[in-house]
Amino acid sequence: MKTRLNHVRVNVSDISKALKWYEEVLGFENDGGWPHANPTYYDFKLEEGAKFAIMEVKGERSYGRFNFDVEKVDELWESLKGKVEVVEPLFDTPWGTRKFTIRDLDGNELGFAG
């Protein structure tokens, strides 16, 4: 069976804090929440690729690692390195890109490469 990834979601413990962190620290732009009256889920706008979302899940911990391609990885690193928990500082990969990995508020690892 062949598949194509079209949606990635991470579980977070506090949707309001997580949404603020993804928007203010990383610069993501939310594409709406659900349910409308009291959202516990948010999608983020994307240029292409799989949809990325966060969802509040109480009492459960799940950690994942997600990698994002970005155009100006060095600039992003400089803007984030003092504001986030770093898993891997910026480095040159064996396949010719530069990459760093951070942790979000709930322990999920977010890699950025370019």
Residue 102's beta-bridge partner residues?
86, 110
Decide the pairing of beta strands 65-69 and 109-113.
Answer: parallel
CA-to-CA distance for 74 and 95, rounded, in angstroms? 17
- Of all residues in the chain, what percent carry a pLDDT higher than 90? 74
Q: Is the pLDDT of residue 102 over 80?
A: yes
- Asked whether 49 and 66 are in contact (CB, 8 A), the reply is no
Confidence of residue 94 (pLDDT cuts 50, 70, 90): confident
Q: In the prediction, which pLDDT does 1 show?
A: 60
Q: CA-CA-CA-CA torsion for 25, 48, 10, 97, nearest 10 degrees?
A: -70
pLDDT the model gives residue 84: 97
- From residue 101, how far is each of 1, 15, 31, 72, 113 by CA, in Å? 31, 22, 24, 15, 9
* pLDDT average, residue stretch 89-103: 94
pLDDT tens-digit readout, 35-90: 989 999 999 999 888 999 999 988 877 788 888 999 999 999 999 999 999 999 99
